[in-house]
Structure 1
Amino acid sequence: MEVKQAFTDFLEIIPDGAVVINTEGLIVAVNQAAATMFGYSSSSMLEMPLNCLLPEEFREKHDEHLVKFFKHPGRRSMGNGLIFPAVRRDGSKFYVDIMLNQMEIDGELFGIAIARDYTLLKKAEDKIRLELEFEKRQALTDHLTGIMNRRAFTAQLTDEITQLEQHGTPFAVSFIDLDDFKEINDEYGHQYGDEVLQKIAELIRLHSRHTDYVARIGGDEFATIHPMIAASDAEQMMERLRAELVSGIGHAKLPVTLSIGLCQCDKPSEHYTVENIMARADRAMYQAKKEGKNAVVLTG
């Protein structure tokens, strides 16, 4: 039975490109999917050397691999890292993902290659990767203000604790609460309240260092992480931040002030946790409210 007769019907039910070669490296059977992929007709590919489907600079090395392939029977699964450079009839280059196997028919050995256009796979993979990255950013971003959400803040705070324990790197955490924000919602409506929150987030980010982390962790509560900073510097920085925010709020004609609780973390042996740091900063923030609001209170 001729090889073409043995393979043709079988190859056409394969959705990917399929090429059968003999031990001399000549194509003896090919399906329409492979012909379309490489820009030929099926009949024109018969008896063509397989290396004609490769860029010229790869042909000599490919011929060496082909000899080894027939000397050492085996198979290589698709998606297992065998990506070949290829060239279409019009000279355009692309990459294909190959699955290889051998068959013996009537005592004669053949190689069968199932090929997928890796360019298309790469585009699909890139699309999936971008979608996953977008979903990840969405999962870590506050939908209203565009800054970090509580989940992202907690993850970053965990990293800072690790840096302190392992390398002694100090940091500070602040809780920022809008004074009497409920009254703003009650008097002006929730849409205006949302606009206030967006403006406050923008001002906090604007007046923080580029190495700082800014998050919205609740309705009208914000938090910041300030890596590599001493207690005195942290307090001065937060006081400047509060003053700048109040000034910015005034220019924007936003009817709010801010109470800020600041927790300094600089003792590697303290065994800080996310929960106790947040609790300390929260207590300091409420202390600021008790002392008349619109103030910064530091705790260790």
Structure 2
Amino acid sequence: MPLHEERDPIMSAGLDSSVSEAYQPFTTDLMSGLIDSLGDALIGINAEQQIVLFNRGAEELFDYCAPDVLGRQLDILLPPDNRAAHEAHLETFAKEGVRTRRMGHRRSIRARRADGTEFPAGATISVADLDCGRIFFAAVRDITHHVETRNHLAESLNEHQRLARLDPLTDVLNGRVFKKAIEQSIKELRENGVPFTLVFIDADRFKEANDVHGHVFGDELLKTVAARLSSGFRSTDVVARVGGDEFGVLMPDCTAEIARTRIPKLRTALLADMQAMGASVTFSIGVLNCIQPPESVGACLHAVDSLMYSIKYSTGDGIAWGELDGVQQV
């Protein structure tokens, strides 16, 4: 039957005569016109999940003619992997005792057209107890555009949140996030006795390299340092750019012994990277092992900053090691 051919939207194909008679009050011209004039697709099913109502909007949405679906199971309008979940939802809904005209049970579902294509659908469900038995009604809309818009907004929000955490040039964390991570490590140390190590790394003579080779070269140099730091530490360590040519690394649950094994190797790798770039850049590094909780994040940063500058303003190109009770230089 072609779409929109004159017919009653409510039929009883495959149902017994008592059910057919029970639907007669709905088959007047007025009711048929009202049902077909609805903007949404309107579908009705009985307790056996047989389709007993399929209006013109449903024909257009699902690309089925009403006589082809009336009396058949609702499964033909659902993807196979969604059918069990739908049945469970319908059973739960029925137990809630919702009556006629009580709408508002909205959820997102997957639906399937006659050609097998699937689409996200929004459904408003209600139930009515008629002479023929309990009938579930669903007003259904294609919400593809809504879902795409929502997903796009979610992606944009995630990207915005990601960018708010990162340094835009080097793609490592920024100083604000770094301070929050230190705050968390101080809390862990204070409450659970978990030590941590804080590392500050300054690129010696970076300004000179930037002036000689240009800003593009300088940017690439900083990216190279950031990449080396990101790959040279543990996955649990936090790498951040904390200043123009300064980087910070937080090593949670890290003893002085672990730091003394890793940091010299990292410095060697950084120097090799600079040599490969043709840059006369070395690194002043301060390493602070925290076995006692510092008074604040600021106090912790000041201590490791002092270690780093003790190298930078003396010989440069070295590592200063320290704890809260003293400083050692190598």
Verify same fold: TM over 0.5: yes
Distance 1:128 1:134 in 2: 10
Q: Which has the larger radius of gyration?
A: 2
**8 A Cα contact 1:22 1:28, kept in partner:** no
- Match of 1:261, SS? strand
Q: 2:297 aligned to 258, 274, 283, which one?
A: 274
**8 A Cα contact 2:209 2:279, kept in partner:** no
- Match of 2:299, SS? helix
> In the alignment, does 2:211 pair up with 1:183?
no
The offset of 1:168, in angstroms, is 1.7
> In the alignment, does 2:46 pair up with 1:18?
no
Q: Which residue of 2 aligns with 1:238?
A: 263
TM-score of the aligned structures, taking structure 2 as reference length: 0.71
**8 A Cα contact 1:21 1:29, kept in partner:** no
Distance 1:241 1:78 in 2: 56
Q: 2:105 aligned to 55, 77, 89, which one?
A: 77
Q: Taking structure 1 as reference, are residues 117 and 183 closer, same or farther at Cα in structure 2, changes over 3 Å only?
A: same
> In the alignment, does 2:283 pair up with 1:258?
yes
Q: Taking structure 1 as reference, are residues 109 and 263 closer, same or farther at Cα in structure 2, changes over 3 Å only?
A: same
**8 A Cα contact 1:20 1:30, kept in partner:** no
> In the alignment, does 2:195 pair up with 1:166?
no
Alignment of 1:1-300 (within 5 A): 2-3=26-27, 5-6=30-31, 8-9=33-34, 12-14=37-39, 16-20=40-44, 26-32=51-57, 34-42=58-66, 44-45=68-69, 50=74, 53-54=77-78, 65=91, 68=94, 72-73=98-99, 74-79=102-107, 83=109, 86-90=111-115, 96-102=121-127, 111-117=136-142, 125-267=150-292, 270-300=293-323
Give structure 1 stretches of 5+ with no counterpart: none
1:84-110: per-residue Cα shift (whole Å, max 9, x none)? Answer: x655434566774421125699xx986
The offset of 1:282, in angstroms, is 1.3
Distance 2:311 2:135 in 1: 82
**8 A Cα contact 1:263 1:298, kept in partner:** yes
**8 A Cα contact 2:79 2:118, kept in partner:** yes
Single out whichever of 248-257 and 3-12 deviates more from structure 2: 3-12
Q: Taking structure 1 as reference, are residues 249 and 114 closer, same or farther at Cα in structure 2, changes over 3 Å only?
A: same
Q: Taking structure 1 as reference, are residues 288 and 7 closer, same or farther at Cα in structure 2, changes over 3 Å only?
A: farther
The offset of 1:45, in angstroms, is 4.7
TM-score of the aligned structures, taking structure 1 as reference length: 0.77
**8 A Cα contact 2:205 2:280, kept in partner:** no
Q: Taking structure 1 as reference, are residues 67 and 242 closer, same or farther at Cα in structure 2, changes over 3 Å only?
A: closer
**8 A Cα contact 1:177 1:259, kept in partner:** yes
Identity of aligned residues (%): 28
Distance 1:232 1:59 in 2: 55
Q: CA RMSD in A?
A: 4.0
Give 2:289's aligned amino acid. Answer: Q
Q: Taking structure 1 as reference, are residues 54 and 272 closer, same or farther at Cα in structure 2, changes over 3 Å only?
A: same
Distance 1:199 1:133 in 2: 26
- Match of 1:215, SS? strand
